[in-house]
Chains A and B, each alone.
Chain A
Amino acid sequence: MHKIVSTIFLAENIKKIEIEAPRIAKKRKAGQFIMIRVGQTGERVPLTIADSDPEKGTITIIVQGMGKSTRELNSKEAGDTVSDIVGPLGTPSHIEKFGTAVSIGGGVGTAIAYPTAVALKEAGNYVITINGARSKELVILENEMKAVSDEAYITTDDGSYGFHGFVTQKLQELIDSGKKIDYVLAIGPIPMMRAIAEVTRPYHIKTMVSLNPIMVDGTGMCGGCRVTVDNQIKFACVDGPEFDAHQVDFKNLTDRNKLYLPEEKQSAEAFSHQCNLQ
């Protein structure tokens, strides 16, 4: 059992949750994640560790309500508990002094990219962050990102805030301006990561993406999270979740994530119904 210490909505449907997990708080590195099981009949859901406080023994996760499990988690308040948390899982982000590093986040991907942006800054990089959202209300972690960036940009699809357009356009603008970019990390919806890969490919800029396949154990035991990278099968939970964007088979990932659409819908509807009854 793990106790929730504090919660706050960062945007509609996106909640920041601080939970007790002392062992993980001590060990975790940027780019690693946990598997969480909200209750005794719950799924094991992967979530990136956004931050931690080793002294307090807590970790922070930022959760977007998608289906049943994430919405149930987001309905929790300080003082509530979750059944199980295991971690830190996954291979930590590869951090070195690349020179100029661009961290790109789309939607809740901003939260996943944040700890790595912090680590890149600490390693002495010139850090540029580009964070995209559909509209102003959905922008998250703006101040946090500013604090770790040498240059920070926000983009919105509808132009209600910051740069009007997609993160890819902003990245292209930076490249066109003649800036020498040594490293790009892009985390967000699959179409976004795929588009970023195409932007940087002609320039041979080293580009990493954090993949979000469906997981079960998160320890390399089931192979459910397998992704195709450089025509080889990789298990995202142990070999990743970060991979070379120019080698990833994004189509296969998109297809595989549709595996349980009818079941996810059924669970979500049952959960909404239950909420309405309460």
Chain B
Amino acid sequence: MPTQHTLTTKERFAIPRQEMPAQRADERNKNFKEVNLGYTAELAQKEALRCIQCKDPACIKGCPVNIKIDQFIKLISDGNFLGAARKIKEDNVLPAICGRVCPQEDQCEKTCILTKKHRSVAIGNLERFAADYERETGNVELPTVKASTGKTIAVIGSGPAGLSCANDLIQLGHSVTVFEALHELGGVLVYGIPEFRLPKDIVKSEIDGLKKLGVNFIPNAVAGRSVTVDELLKEEGFDAVFIGVGAGLPWFLGIPGENLLGVYSANEFLTRVNLMKSYQFPDNDTPVFNCKGKNVAVFGGGNTAMDAVRTAKRLGAEHASIVYRRSEAEMPARLEEVHHAKEEGIEFLMLMNPLEFIGNDQQWLTGAKCLRMELGEPDESGRRRPVPIKDSEFILPIDMAVISIGNGSNPLIKQTTPDIEVSKRDTIVVDINTMATSKEDVYAGGDIVTGGATVILAMGAGRTAAKAIHEKLMGTVIQ
């Protein structure tokens, strides 16, 4: 096999981007096993050779946590897979997860120099490969933990923001306790993103790693109900609190008929299926809408909508469709998910807006009255605004509707800790350099600050907060 040193740039350009091996579409749309199978070592090394090892790698600027992408890819092409994994972990504690779920085409792969003329280096796939290799070969090394500082920090929420914050703080020698509202740890990684995209074993093994480092996890603890932020600081003696509670309040459309039987929020549908494992009903007790042979429409165009519609298909839906008010080009979902969804037989109904849900006399959903749209002038977000086409109303016959138009902030912390400043949208206001809130010794990060965003941004915020908390508590500066 050629190495980094023997190939000319021209020869590198001649290597096509290595496709990710995947389960066949007509098989995987009937099971919950992971769609992507992962690169083999050979595929990974071949893909790694496509990287021209830029002097000033543009890809790094596209990665929110600035992974040393050129260096880890070089290690892969040299066959030093463990070295690659460790290089990534210097900047990203959850590479097996980010390699799978980052919207790479908007981040590292967007800025990769090859994107201009060729297809970008498959950075996400390579990151996943290195992380999986390290884990599957049993070579995950526990990082060293510094001597105890005697400081204790409470982390609220065990999503990516909370986990990355806990990880950095424990390594710096602090004692860390994570309070999680649900009975499982991992946040959206376990209750939202389905098994077929992110196997729960991977999340579990990352959390097990944190447990081994000494992080104390308390599930079934709802901050604001089981314990308040003030009680953590004053009665339980924590020196600082990090709030990473995510964006967990589903929005509804606010149209008539939304309470009919068969209308779900994406959060409820995905929570039932993923967290409560209702795809294994009756072996697991929690039921979910019986999709077999039914028409299911998911309203929305983001990752959550793609996850919901592909889940409905896997539960046996005859027709599983995405209904979106703009056109496909404006959909915020990861490209790979849209591509996979299409292969799996998901129907895309674009430029359509629901006006009302219609039910039968038993109150079961039978259809959605929709309006056709066309694209007008760009709006504030730069996307072309959908405008209704006059007299274009029609009824879309459906048995189940899943509303996936985003989430607001859960009100519990706000209600019980009024001295934390929140925005008009109820997100927590922070200083973005330190993630400090308006309340002394309280920090926040992730979706509760930004509104629904991405795993990597939430992780980055958790790390920024960990650094600031350490510096504040110890009176030192980390370089």
A contact residues vs B (CB 8 Å cutoff): 23-24, 27, 37, 41-44, 68-69, 83-89, 216-217, 219-224, 226, 228, 233, 238, 252, 255-256, 258-260, 262-264, 266-267, 270
Are B259 and A252 touching (Cβ within 8 A)?
Answer: yes
Please give me the residue from chain A that is nearest to B260 by CB atom: A255
Q: What residues on B are CB-neighbors of A42 within 8 Å?
A: 285
Contact B287 A216 (CB under 8 A): no
Q: Does B335 contact A (CB under 8 A)?
A: no
Binding site for A on B (CB under 8 A): 181-183, 191, 219-222, 225-227, 248-250, 252, 258-259, 261, 264-265, 267-268, 271-272, 276-277, 281-287, 289-290, 362-363, 410-412
* Complex Cα gap A259–B225 (Å): 29
Distance from A25 Cβ to chain B, minimum over Cβ atoms (Å):
11
Q: Which of A89, A224, A228 has the most CB of B within 10 A?
A: A224
**Secondary structure of the B contact surface, majority rule:** loop
Name A27's contact: one of B220, B226, B271 (CB within 8 Å): B226
Q: Whose C-beta in chain A lies nearest to the C-beta of B220? A: A86
New A-B contacts (15) at CB < 8 Å, excluding given A221-B267, A224-B264: A41-B283, A84-B219, A86-B226, A89-B222, A219-B222, A220-B412, A223-B252, A226-B259, A228-B259, A238-B412, A252-B259, A255-B362, A258-B261, A259-B289, A264-B287
With A42-B285, A223-B250 already in contact, the answer to whether A88 and B272 are too (CB < 8 A) is: no
Please state if B181 and A256 are interface contacts (CB–CB under 8 Å).
Answer: no
A-B residue pairs in contact (CB < 8 Å), sample of 6? A24-B226, A84-B220, A224-B268, A263-B287, A264-B287, A266-B282
A263 touches B226 (CB 8 A): no
Question: B175: shortest Cβ distance to chain A, in Å?
Answer: 19
Contacts of B264 in A (CB 8 A): 224
Q: A23-B221, A216-B271, A266-B282 are in contact. Are A224 and B411 (CB under 8 A)?
A: no
* Complexed CA–CA distance, A85 and B219 (Å): 9
Of chain B, the residue at the smallest CB distance from A266 is B282
Point out the residues of chain B lying under 8 angstroms from A233, CB to CB: 252, 258-259
Quick check: A87 and B261 within 8 Å, CB to CB? Answer: no
Asked whether A43 and B276 contact (CB < 8 A) given A69-B285, A219-B410, A267-B285, the answer is yes
Within the assembled complex, what's the spacing in Å between the Cα atoms of A228 and B263?
14
Q: How far is the CB of B228 from chain A (nearest CB, A)?
A: 9
CB distance from A196 to the nearest CB of B (A): 23
**A270 in contact with B282 given A221-B249, A221-B410, A224-B268 (CB within 8 Å):** yes
Q: How many angstroms from the CA of A233 to the CA of B254 in the assembled complex?
A: 9
Chain A residues with Cβ below 8 Å from B290 are 262-263
**B265→A224 contact, CB < 8 A:** yes
Decide: A23 near B410, CB < 8 A? Known: A43-B276, A216-B286: no
In the complex, A222→B264 CA distance in Å?
9
- Chain A contacts for B267, CB-based, 8 A: 221-223
Q: Say yes or no: A44-B226 contact (C-beta < 8 A), given A222-B267, A223-B250.
A: no
The A contact surface, by secondary structure, is: mixed
Q: How far is the CB of B408 from chain A (nearest CB, A)?
A: 10
- Nearest B residue (CB) for A40: B284
> Nearest chain A CB to B194's CB is how many angstroms away?
16
* Structural contact, B259 and A256, CB atoms closer than 8 A: yes
> Closest approach, in angstroms, between the C-beta of B446 and any C-beta of chain A?
15
Contacts of A216 in B (CB 8 A): 268, 271-272, 276, 286
Q: Which residues of A contact B220 (CB under 8 A)?
A: 84-86
A260 touches B225 (CB 8 A): no
Establish whether residues A41 and B258, one from each chain, have CB atoms under 8 Å apart when the complex forms.
Answer: no
With A219-B222, A220-B410, A256-B261 as known contacts, state yes or no: A86 contacts B183, CB within 8 Å: yes
Nearest-CB distance from B191 to chain A (Å)? 8
Which of the listed residues A27, A216, A252, A255 has the most CB atoms from chain B within 10 Å of its own CB? Answer: A216
> Which residue of A84, A222, A256 is within 8 Å of B265 (Cβ)?
A222
Task: Please give, as numbers and ranges, the residues of chain B lying within 8 Å of A222 by CB-CB distance.
Answer: 250, 265, 267-268, 271
Are A88 and B249 in touch, CB under 8 angstroms? no
* Chain A residues within 8 Å of B271, by CB: 216-217, 221-222
* Nearest CB in chain B to that of A21: its residue: B220
Q: How long is the Cα–Cα vector from A228 to B249 in the complex, in angstroms?
A: 17
A166 to B410, CA, bound (A): 40
The list of the 3 closest CB pairs from A to B, nearest first, reads A263-B287, A222-B268, A86-B220
Kindly list chain B residues whose C-beta atoms are within 8 Å of the C-beta of A27. 225-227
Closest partner residue, chain B, to A38 (CB atom): B285
Contact status B285-A259, CB under 8 Å: no
B249 proximity list for chain A (CB < 8 A) = 220-221
Given contacts A41-B284, A256-B259, contact A223 B225 (CB under 8 A): no
Minimum CB distance partner of A41 in chain B: B284
CB distance from A85 to the nearest CB of B (A): 6
| Chain A residue contacts of B276, Cβ below 8 A | 43-44, 216
**Are B226 and A255 in touch, CB under 8 angstroms?**
no
- List, in ascending order, chain B residues with CB within 8 A of A86's CB: 181-183, 220-222, 226
